[in-house]
Chain A
Amino acid sequence: MDLQRLEEIELRLLLDGVFEAYGYDFRNYAEASLKRRLRHWLAEQGYASLSIAQGEILRDRAVFTSFLQGLTVNVSEMFRDPKFFRTLREHVLPFLRTWPFMRIWVAGCAGGEEAYSLAIVLHEGGVLRRCRIYATDINEAILDRARDGIFALRDMQNFTRNYQLAGGTTEFADYYTARYDRALMLPALRENILFTPHNLAVDADFGEMHLILCRNVLIYFNPTLKERALGLFDTALTAGGFLCLGMKETLEIRSIAANYREIAKGIRIYRKDYPD
């Protein structure tokens, strides 16, 4: 049997096993990226094949945890795509202000970069105290890091530039304290953020939301899983609420699209219609 066919079988068996043993469902992730990351993880850990790794992944939780770290892509930045945050500030905030209380969901929040950026925008817009931000991710280790709110000092230069391009109204340095090579985000920023595990592939939605950000997560899903995640968002989002995707993710070809309007072309911020 040729090697490629064999690897497909191994992959299917492993992902089935992982789902049954741990409840993490990677079966509907986009294949090319998933395989690439798996190959890297295998090589890094010194396993000759998926079959050999499988036994250890299933029997040893520590190996599974390492596998999970290997599979998920936790790369993020603060104010990634400054244009997006600028549009949020200028065109979404005025609507948010009209609600007495806002519930916000940042799905796939990685190390919290996006949630802290959002908290800063809301703070500068004078509404942070009226918001509850649910920042969720599948990867619990990365959520621990997000809760700490500690970032590498060397990244601050880039984050500062992004913040300025995003229309920040003060100094980015006001939002963190530097110590050695670390930057600690102002604790007040996370008072309204709840970092908590949630898996878009298996868990249910969570209640009424006014704003949902899920950026650069759906690109890792196949169409079936994309539909599932968007279904969760659609159920959770209140009429008149906003759904924000990554700059290269579109709603147009998905089944919920009919009830949404993009509010600024190419920025991927969609507003849910009021029922008529």
Chain B
Amino acid sequence: MQQLTRSVVVIGVSAGGFEALKLLLGALPADFPLPILIVQHLRSGSGSLADSLQHFCGIRLKEADEGDRIVPGIVYFAPPDYHLLVERDGTLALSVDPPVRYARPSVDVLFESAAESFGAGVIGVILTGANDDGSKGLQLIKTAGGTTIVQDPADAEVAQMPLNALNSGVADYVLPLARIAERLCTLTMGLK
């Protein structure tokens, strides 16, 4: 049996996300020690982000399938038009619950389930975007004892989403994009 992971990185990103993820994921080592789950808002009908970004990354990317057991060193993307959740046993779940404030997948839904399933083992990251999705989820991560990172709004292609996350007052780190990968690596050092 695969060893159960008790820690996970969750990332929420919207407008401007492709470029931001290209930079962030491109800077992570292929053997990054945690699983990474990402909700990126997309127009429905758009192609797989995992496929189009893989080219720029050493770390492995895949679109989440229901029941996937999350493993370190793989990045899982929410499929367009489904919410992505993570269960306590470390498997992924999808849902077609209604959009949450116009978003499906919703960052809040992912963050809430991560906080509930993994508690203090969660590192939540909010990147560029034009709405306030993720702010509530980030608070839940913080309340559950997790770690929170917000992209510096001045550095974000669209500042709204990071700004809203900052306003919730729970950011442990506010960093320009170029330094987030490095921070993720220091935070998870020795976690192998």
Q: Which positions in A face B, CB cutoff 8 Å?
A: 4, 30-33, 35-37, 73, 75, 216, 219-220, 223, 246, 248-250, 253
Contacts and interface: CB of A to CB of B under 8 A. Distances in A.
Contacts of A250: 65-67
A32 B94 contact: no
Contacts of A216: 96
A27 B109 CA distance: 22
A37 B106 CA distance: 15
B82 interface: yes
A31 B96 contact: no
B94 A219 contact: yes
B86 A33 contact: no
Contacts of B67: 223, 250, 253
Given A248-B66, A249-B66, A37 B88 contact: no
B45 to A, nearest CB: 10
B116 A219 contact: no
- Residue of B67, B85, B86, B113 with highest tally of chain A CB at under 10 A: B67
A22 to B, nearest CB: 23
Contacts, number: 52
B85 A36 contact: yes
Given A223-B67, A248-B82, A31 B88 contact: yes
A25 B52 CA distance: 42
A32 B37 CA distance: 15
Contacts of B88: 31-32
Interface residues of B, number: 22
Interface in B86-104: 86-88, 93-98
Contacts of B94: 219, 248
A33 B97 contact: yes
A216 B95 CA distance: 8
A218 B70 CA distance: 20
Contact of A75 (B97, B113, B117): B97
Contacts of A30: 87, 93
Given A219-B66, A248-B66, A249-B66, A32 B96 contact: no
A36 B97 CA distance: 10
Contacts of A219: 66, 93-96
A35 B116 contact: yes
A75 B96 contact: yes
A248 B97 CA distance: 14
A276 to B, nearest CB: 30
- Residue of A4, A30, A223, A246 with highest tally of chain B CB at under 10 A: A30
B182 to A, nearest CB: 31
Contacts of A35: 116
B112 interface: yes
Interface in B57-88: 65-67, 79, 82-83, 85-88
Given A31-B87, A75-B97, A248-B82, 12 more contacts: A4-B116, A30-B87, A32-B93, A36-B97, A36-B109, A73-B95, A219-B66, A219-B95, A223-B67, A249-B66, A250-B65, A250-B67
Contacts of B83: 33
A75 B95 CA distance: 10
Given A73-B96, A75-B98, A32 B117 contact: yes
A249 B82 CA distance: 12
B86 A248 contact: no
6 contacts: A4-B116, A33-B85, A33-B97, A36-B97, A73-B95, A248-B79
A33 B119 CA distance: 17
Interface in B110-124: 112-113, 116-117, 119
Nearest to B104: A75
B2 to A, nearest CB: 14
Closest 9 CB pairs of A and B: A32-B85, A32-B113, A33-B95, A30-B93, A216-B96, A219-B94, A32-B87, A73-B97, A32-B93
Contacts of A4: 116, 119
Nearest to B99: A75
A218 to B, nearest CB: 8
A220 B97 CA distance: 10
B115 to A, nearest CB: 10
A271 to B, nearest CB: 21
Nearest to B64: A248
Nearest to B112: A36
